[in-house]
Amino acid sequence: MINKKVLRFILSLKIRQLRLKEGINLRQLADRSGLSHSYLNEIEKGKKYPKIDKLIALAGALRVTVDDLLSAKMGRSLHPLLQLLESDFAKDFPLDMFGISDHDVMQLMAGEPEKFASFLVTLLEIARSYDMKIEDLQKAALRAYQETNDNYFPDIEKKAVEAREKWNLELPITSEKLKAILKKEYGYKIDEETLSSNEASSGLRSVYKEKVTATLFINSALDEAQKAFIFGQELGYHLLEHPRKSKSSFETQLNDYRASYFSGALLLDETLFCRDLAKIFSKSSVAGDEFLELLNGCRVSSEVFMHRLTQLLPHHFKLNQLFFLRCNEDYLDRNKSYYISKELHLSQLHNPHGVNLHEHYCRRWITVWLLEELSKKMNEKSLNGLEVGLQRSKMVDNENEYFCLSIARPSKIKKRTNSCLTVGILINQEFKDTVKFWNDSGIINKEVGQTCERCPIEDCSERVAVPTIHRSLERKKKEKIAVQEILNS
Q: Which CATH topology does 148-267 take?
A: Arc Repressor Mutant, subunit A (1.10.10)
The torsion angles phi and psi of 166, rounded to 5 degrees, stand at: -60, -40
Query: CA separation (Å) from 112 to 19, 44, 104, 109?
Result: 15, 14, 14, 6
User: CA Rg, the chain, in Å?
Assistant: 28
pLDDT of 303 strictly over 50 = yes
Q: Return the domain boundaries, the chain.
A: 4-129, 148-267, 286-475
As a whole number, the mean pLDDT across the chain is 85
The band of 1, judged by pLDDT with boundaries at 50, 70 and 90, is: very low
pLDDT (tens digit, 9 = 90+) per residue, 13-36? Answer: 888 888 888 899 989 999 998 999
CATH number of this structure's domain 4-129, picked from the four choices 1.10.530.10, 1.10.390.10, 1.10.260.40, 3.40.190.10: 1.10.260.40
Specify the pLDDT at position 186.
93
Specify the pLDDT at position 215.
92
In terms of pLDDT, which residue wins out, 384 or 65? 65
pLDDT (tens digit, 9 = 90+) per residue, 157-210? Answer: 999 999 999 999 999 999 999 999 999 999 999 999 999 898 888 889 999 988
Same fold for the pair 4-129 and 148-267: no
The band of 75, judged by pLDDT with boundaries at 50, 70 and 90, is: low
DSSP 410-459: E-SSSTTEEEEEEEEEE-SHHHHHH-TTTT-TTSEEEEE-SBGGG---TT
What percent of the chain shows pLDDT beyond 70?
85
The Cα–Cα gap between 91 and 93 comes to 6
Helices 154-166 and 270-281 cross at an angle (nearest 10°) of 110
Name the nearest CA neighbour of 464 among 361, 377, 344, 312: 361
Strand 387-395 to 338-346 pairing = unpaired
Q: Judge contact between 312 and 273, C-beta under 8 A.
A: yes
Name the nearest CA neighbour of 123 among 132, 136, 112, 114: 132
Q: Judge contact between 329 and 338, C-beta under 8 A.
A: yes
The Cα–Cα gap between 329 and 368 comes to 9
Q: Judge contact between 453 and 465, C-beta under 8 A.
A: yes
Handedness of CA 102, 105, 108, 111 (dihedral sign): negative
Look up the pTM and report it. 0.79
pLDDT (tens digit, 9 = 90+) per residue, 31-61? Answer: 998 999 999 888 887 788 888 889 899 988 9
Who's near 109: CB < 8 A, 6+ residues apart?
A: 9, 13, 81, 116
The Cα–Cα gap between 460 and 368 comes to 15
pLDDT (tens digit, 9 = 90+) per residue, 365-424? Answer: 899 889 988 888 887 777 777 889 999 999 888 889 999 999 999 988 887 889 999 999
The band of 148, judged by pLDDT with boundaries at 50, 70 and 90, is: confident
In terms of pLDDT, which residue wins out, 119 or 169? 169
